[in-house]
């Protein structure tokens, strides 16, 4: 078993594999031989989970196996797989988590801080997705998912979510999902790829008219009234559309999106509104900072 773990490499392994390979092997090795799966089966699903987490900023291997993270991975990272395959993945990851962390090893998600401009952490985002998909009715689940995808995937504000028509969301030939925003800050936004399948699904299932709560009277407090009806556990971060949008902005800033592009797709009048996000951006190491100053690359 140890030899299979040490030599396993995913087919067509992406660059992310090199970053997570050691931790994946360590997790599967810690599980030991007591699980009813062979090494290749465990390595395959754990590698896929780890590379998904790597792309979403979840770097702590113990957080990979938390139930909220696994739910997020199965819903967004396994698009196109059959329900049977996803169920198999869930069973393997649950048994792996029990072997590594113990039956009650999952740690609670911390409450959000009072700083309303602080972007949500990767762990909080996983908890929010679990909150959205765990609502008791289809209407609540759809509304929660729409808030997440429009805020985190497209950077919409609450008033833009309220005014968005289903017909303003469309899929284009390359698989991207485009949102046409009308009104004072009219613009076109391309949804982040990690959220586009969710938005496309919501758009396909929507009726003509408004996308979010289509049968409700439009009012400024429509989002807050809706959130008050949702079920939220004590460890679920408080949901604020403004923080979802700030998370989207911070991710673009951290990724180096040109400011002219970001101002345009965010509907900003200038750069001053980005000041509050600067303390929350990841630090740049000295070598990279020196290279940027010297070569602008």
Give the CATH number, domain containing residue 153. 1.10.443.10
Q: Which residues pair with 188 in a beta bridge?
A: 180
Instruction: Judge contact between 241 and 249, C-beta under 8 A.
Output: no
Burial class (CB in 10 A: 0-12, 13-18, 19+), 59: middle
Q: Do 147 and 223 form a contact (C-beta atoms < 8 A)?
A: yes
The pLDDT value recorded for residue 278 is: 87
Instruction: Give yes or no for a contact between 96 and 42, defined as CB atoms under 8 angstroms apart.
Output: yes
Backbone torsions φ then ψ of 169, nearest 5 degrees = -110, 125
Per-residue pLDDT of the chain (297 residues; tens, 9 = 90+): 678 888 889 888 888 899 899 999 988 888 776 677 888 889 999 999 999 998 888 878 878 988 888 988 998 888 888 989 999 999 999 888 888 877 554 443 443 344 566 899 988 999 999 999 999 999 999 999 999 999 999 999 999 999 999 999 999 988 899 999 998 899 999 999 999 999 999 999 988 899 999 999 999 899 999 999 999 888 889 999 999 999 999 999 999 999 999 999 999 988 888 888 888 888 888 888 888 888 987
Give how many domains the chain has, as a whole number: 2
Q: Within a domain: residue 207?
A: yes
CB 222 within 8 A of CB 157: no
Spatial contact of 78 and 198, defined as CB atoms under 8 Å apart: no
Are residue 197 and residue 273 in the same domain, yes or no?
yes
Are 256 and 134 contained in the same domain? yes
Is residue 219 domain-resident? Answer: yes
pLDDT of the residue at 199? 95
116 in a structural domain: no
Q: Please give the pLDDT value at position 280.
A: 87
Which structural domain range is residue 74 located in? 2-101
Query: Are residues 142 and 74 part of one domain?
Result: no
Determine, yes or no, domain membership for 276. yes
Instruction: Identify the pLDDT of residue 182.
Output: 92
**Domain match, 133 and 269 both:** yes
Tell me if 149 sits within 8 A of 202, measured CB to CB: yes
pLDDT for position 184? 85
The answer to whether residues 58 and 91 belong to one domain is yes
3-class state of residue 188 by DSSP: strand
């Amino acid at each position: 078993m140890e030899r299979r773990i040490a030599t396993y490499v995913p087919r067509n392994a992406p660059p992310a594999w090199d970053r997570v390979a050691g931790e994946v092997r360590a997790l599967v090795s810690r599980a030991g031989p007591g699980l009813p799966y062979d090494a290749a089966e465990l390595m395959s699903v754990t590698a896929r989970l780890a590379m998904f987490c790597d792309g979403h900023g979840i770097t702590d291997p113990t957080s990979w196996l938390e139930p909220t993270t696994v739910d997020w991975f199965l819903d967004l990272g396994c698009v196109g797989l059959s329900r049977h395959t996803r169920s198999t993945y869930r069973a393997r990851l649950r048994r792996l988590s029990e072997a590594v962390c113990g039956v009650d090893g999952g740690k609670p998600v911390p409450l959000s801080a009072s700083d309303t401009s602080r972007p949500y952490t990767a762990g909080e985002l996983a908890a929010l997705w679990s909150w959205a998909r765990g609502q008791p009715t289809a209407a609540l689940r759809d509304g929660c998912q729409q808030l997440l995808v429009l805020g985190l995937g497209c950077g919409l504000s609450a008033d833009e979510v309220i005014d968005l028509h289903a017909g303003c969301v469309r899929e284009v030939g390359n698989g991207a999902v485009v949102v046409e925003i009308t009104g004072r800050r009219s613009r076109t936004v391309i949804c982040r790829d990690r959220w586009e399948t969710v938005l496309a699904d919501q758009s396909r299932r929507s009726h003509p008219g408004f996308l979010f709560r289509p049968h409700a009277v439009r009012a400024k407090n429509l989002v807050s009234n809706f959130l008050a009806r949702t079920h939220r556990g004590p460890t679920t971060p408080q949901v604020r559309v403004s923080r979802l949008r700030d998370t989207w902005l911070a991710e673009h800033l951290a990724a180096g999106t040109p400011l002219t592009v970001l101002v345009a797709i965010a509907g900003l009048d200038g750069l001053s509104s980005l000041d509050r996000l600067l303390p929350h951006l990841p630090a740049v190491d000295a070598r990279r900072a020196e290279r940027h100053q010297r070569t602008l690359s």
